[in-house]
């Protein structure tokens, strides 16, 4: 199992090893079979806005996007779950808004994106409730703290 981190922005600093550890811990807790690859791209608001417009038809930045992989597309021929894209600018804003460390916000966004790759959906009230409950459970186990409510 490997988590590939690519930092495509220079506006917000974060330890990429922390993000890797969060994603790998969540995969282990969820009992996801090894080997598998996940890619995480750290971007700015302008970059994620382009992706959000292209793939979701929403012309504004968002905090996290997830793109599940179809088939066996892993870096070393291993199965890949897909790609998570996180706007660190948006994460910094939301961390300030909810008065917690940016590391907590980035962990929340990484877990949220990973849950989408694992098949969770939040486009209905029932789906969102299940996803946020699982997200809170994972963050409590990984960070020792829960997810803030923002639905």
Instruction: Tell me if 72 is assigned to a ligand binding site.
Output: no
Asked if residues 138 and 29 have their Cβ atoms less than 8 Å apart, the reply is yes
Asked if residues 73 and 80 have their Cβ atoms less than 8 Å apart, the reply is yes
- Say how far apart CA 127 and CA 90 lie, in whole Å: 24
Report, in this order, helix, strand and coil percent for the chain, each rounded to 5: 45, 15, 35
What six digits make up the tokens of 149? 């409510």
What six digits make up the tokens of 98? 């909810």
Instruction: Tell me if 10 is assigned to a ligand binding site.
Output: no
Residues 6+ apart with CB under 8 A from 4: 37, 38, 39, 40, 75
Annotated binding site for Zn(2+): 112, 116, 122
Annotated binding site: 112, 116, 122
């Amino acid at each position: 199992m490997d988590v590939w981190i690519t930092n495509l922005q220079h506006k917000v600093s974060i330890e990429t090893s922390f993000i890797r550890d969060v994603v790998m811990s969540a995969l282990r807790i969820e009992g996801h079979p090894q080997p598998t690859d996940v890619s995480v791209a750290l971007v700015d608001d302008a970059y994620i806005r382009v992706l959000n417009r292209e793939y979701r038809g929403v012309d504004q930045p968002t905090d996290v996007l997830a793109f599940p992989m179809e088939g066996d597309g892993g870096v070393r021929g291993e199965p890949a779950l897909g790609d998570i894209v996180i706007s660190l600018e948006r994460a910094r804003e939301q961390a300030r808004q909810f008065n917690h460390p940016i590391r907590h916000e980035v962990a929340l966004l990484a877990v949220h994106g990973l849950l989408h790759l694992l098949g969770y959906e939040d486009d209905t009230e029932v789906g969102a409730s299940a996803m946020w409950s699982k997200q809170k459970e994972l963050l409590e186990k990984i960070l020792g703290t829960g997810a803030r409510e923002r639905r």
